Every structure is written in C-alpha cells, then in structure tokens.
Amino acid sequence: GLDLSDLGMLNFDDATELTIDTGAITVVQSFHTVDTASDAATDDLDTISGGTAGDTIFLRAANTARTVVLKHNTGNIHCPYGADFSLLNSDLIVELLFDGTDWHIVGSVPFASATRIYLGTLQDVVAGDWRKILFDTDIYDILGESDLSNNQITVTNAGLYMVGATLYFGENMADNGLIALKITGSTFGTIAVYQTAVAGTNQEGLSAMSPVYLVAGESVYAYAYHVYSENRSLNAGAGLNYLYVVR
C-alpha cells in the first residue's frame, strides 16, 4: 500500500445514510449515518458488511430520537469491555477499524459519562432502618443517565466507573451514621463503602466512593442508615446530599 505523510487534513465524502436491515448494514465509504429499521425507537446493529482489512469508518445515529445499539460479538462487531455500545443521539460518533473479519470500536465522541443528582427535599431517616436516598434533581447529566423517578443513575454503556455519594444529616449523630452505595441486583457489601459520621454539634457528614465495573443498564443508588436514639433528617441541597457516576 501507499504511505501518506505530511497531510494537512483528511476530508471524507459527505455521510450517506444506511438503514439497518435484519441487524446489518453495508458500508461503502468512510462516513455514514445509521438509522433504525422502520424508524423504530431503537434497533440492534449486529453486522457490518463491506470494507477491506485496515479500513476505518465513522458512524453516527441518523436521528437523535432513535438509538442504534452496536452489539458486541453478536455478528462481527467488537466493542470495548465486551459490552454493547449505544449511539444515543446524533452527537455521538463512533470509529471502527476492520481487521479483515471483524470491526473493532477504537474511539467515539463523546465517550465520557458524567452524572450527578442531589436531594432537593428534606428526607427523614428512621433509626435502625436502611433508607434509600430520594435524589430528585439533576446537577449535570451528559448522556441522559439520571433516573430521577427511581432516585438513581442508570449507565448506558459498560465500563469502569467511579461512583460516589455524600450525605449530610441535619443534626448531631454522635458517630452513628452509615452510607452504602448499591448497584442493581447487588447486596449492600458489593461496592459499598461505609464511613461513620464525623463528630460535630450540628451537621454530620458521610461519604462513600469506589471504582466499579458496570454493565450497560445497571443502576447506582445510595442508602443511609443510623442508630441514633432519635430519627434524623438528611438536609436538602446540591452541595450536601448527592450521588455521582463518572467515566
């Protein structure tokens, strides 16, 4: 093949649209938009036909309202971390490299995930009872992963994430407070980080943080617990009680 050097810029032909047909598309150039079959809300892309070894392609969703899911190892597509990758909107662009047999995702824009939600309303926590924290307001949410109706964050792509939460009780707890992080289907101890409250006369602060591998569709939420002699309340406020997931 030919070696290229000192190129100022690569300029591809304008993207042409491909529609998924029984889980497959056929690429004919380096840049395509991809739409779902019959304009369905979501559709799986299993197989990419066309191309020769060494080819690179860029794909993006044709419509922001329709999600294209690149399926890992169902056909000839391989995704990072062995999990499916979703083109959630037309701002996402994914790059793939063909090895002669399979297409491998090598990059995407944006690939980052960052969500933070907080407790906007005062919440009581009964002594001796684990209580799910009712986070109800977004602070930021890059990929639309906050699930406020369930007071949690649900990730769209698999990968290694940093998850954490900070809670503040409104009254003195005498070091009797605990916090737990939890993921869908797990027990408290799976990714939980507990920390007794810092002694004080007014507010008691608790924090938990842990790196964890999450599968697409898994959710992260937080619980609070205390054994103080009286019921205690979690303060409302963006800088006081919040949950975050970052990748």
Looking at residue 88, its pLDDT comes to: 81
HSE-up of 75 (CA within 13 Å, CB side)?
Answer: 15
Distances in Å between the Cα of 62 and the Cα atoms of 58, 93, 233 are 12, 11, 47
Give residue-wise pLDDT tens across range 235-247.
Answer: 888 888 899 999 8
Higher-scoring residue by pLDDT: 80, 152: 152
Looking at residue 197, its pLDDT comes to: 42
Give residue-wise pLDDT tens across range 84-139.
Answer: 888 888 888 999 999 999 999 998 755 578 899 999 999 988 888 888 999 999 99
Looking up tokens 């004080």 gives: 200
DSSP string, 179-208: EEEEETT--TTTT----PPPP-SS-EEEEE
Looking at residue 157, its pLDDT comes to: 79
220 pLDDT higher than 50: yes
Looking at residue 187, its pLDDT comes to: 46
Classified as helix, coil or strand, 82 is helix
Looking at residue 219, its pLDDT comes to: 92
- Using pLDDT thresholds of 50, 70 and 90, give the confidence band for residue 198: very low
Give residue-wise pLDDT tens across range 140-187.
Answer: 888 889 999 999 999 987 788 999 888 887 766 555 667 777 887 664
Give residue-wise pLDDT tens across range 7-44.
Answer: 788 888 999 999 999 999 999 999 999 999 999 999 99
d(CA 57, CA 51): 9
- Give this prediction's pTM: 0.63
81 pLDDT higher than 90: no
Closest CA to 18 of 27, 9, 10, 8: 27
- Burial of 240 per CB tally in 10 Å (0-12, 13-18, 19+): middle
Asked if residue 213 lies in contact with residue 197, where contact means CB atoms within 8 angstroms, the answer is: no
